[in-house]
Amino acid sequence: MTALGGSGGRASLTNLAWTGMAVAIGFAGIVVAATAFRWEPSLVGGDAWNYLAAGERLNAGHLLYALGPGDRSVPLAPPYWSVPLLAPPPIAVLWRAIALAGEASMTLWGIAVFLVTAGTAGWLAWRSSPIGRLALALVAMPLALAALSGNAAALVVPLLAAAWTCRSRPWIAGTCIAIACVVKLTPALLILWLIGSRRWTTLAAALAATALLVAISVVGAGLPSWSQWATSVPASSPSPLAVATLINAPTWLVAVGFAVATLVISVAFGERVGFVMAVVAAALATPAFYFQAMALLAAAVATLKPPGSGADNPAERSPDRLIPQGIC
């Protein structure tokens, strides 16, 4: 009994040490992020400002991917940001309703994004292992930056985390992936994870939900908006920190590389490792890569569970046993 008690006590102290380290690192990251980028949701040219401008253009019957007379000014930075909106049309369709609140919509959006991000981080930390909390702390700075800037990437994190935790419920997981795909394009790489994991029902649900969301956006923004967006994507150069820029490769080649890596790793090492690879790929493959894009990595923490908690899904494939115990 003494030996067991001593072992349990040492384990508790180790867990406490890991958790304390995670709290310290996470707090430092949040402080640095808050110092470098203060919370100002109505900042001209900020994410909420640009989303509001997009919703207003649609409500006025104007072109979504071009500025015209009477449109809210959106600062451009060609060749990286040569159109007033880089995201696909669905986010602008959502903002048609939000824009009805006027200038206050930016503050409301900023509060909502901040609360969702904080809640997601707290939930991930609560259900994770000590090492998972440390991993979450390491991405605290980009996660805080995404929350402070009001970027929709912060909302993709809970969607991807829910896709993992609800993977035994195909329609929930598939819908989460579909929403993430139409908000930020690169989460579409999770489709390769579904294929590699042979989750065909979830794949069908994701494709069906994506088709429905695209159809809704066509009604809300018009079919020409999609063709304008498709034209604007190759016209915009990848950011200076994008993988495509760093390795001097075409954006499409980087996307294909990440897609193949996600599929191969999902098949070879199981769905848990495959999901982590898909999340990493979704974060790094974007041509509009800025530091806050790393916030997506927080979703991978959903795969890290405390020792002894057991698999949270009996359908996990046997290759997942290659993951060291105590991490998952």
Domain chopping of the chain, boundaries:
8-322
pLDDT band at 151 (very low <50, low <70, confident <90, very high): confident
**Per-position b or e across 140-160, b if 16+ CB within 10 A of its CB:** bbbbbbbbbbbbbbbbbbbbb
Stated pTM of the model: 0.84
Bridge partners, 81 (sequence order): 77
**What are the φ and ψ backbone dihedral angles of 229, each rounded to 5 degrees?**
-65, -45
Looking at the predicted structure, is the pLDDT value of residue 175 above 70? yes
Task: Quick: pLDDT tens for 280-304.
Answer: 999 999 998 888 888 999 999 999 8
Task: Give the mean pLDDT of 67-91.
Answer: 91
Mean pLDDT value across residues 156-183: 96
Q: Are 194 and 221 in contact (CB under 8 A)?
A: no
Measured CA to CA, the distance from residue 83 to residue 95 in angstroms comes to 17
Q: Tell me the C-alpha distance between 275 and 302, whole Å.
A: 10
On the question of pLDDT at 320 being above 60, the answer is: no
Identify which of 149, 150, 208 has the alpha carbon closest to the alpha carbon of residue 177. Answer: 208
Token digits of residue 217: 């956006």
For residue range 11-30, what is the model confidence (pLDDT) as tens digits? 565 555 555 555 555 555 56
Summary mean pLDDT of the chain: 84
What distance lies between CA 267 and its chain's CA centroid? 23
Distance of CA 81 to the CA centre of its chain: 20
Q: Is the pLDDT of residue 10 over 60?
A: no
Residue 77: pLDDT band by 50, 70, 90 thresholds?
A: confident
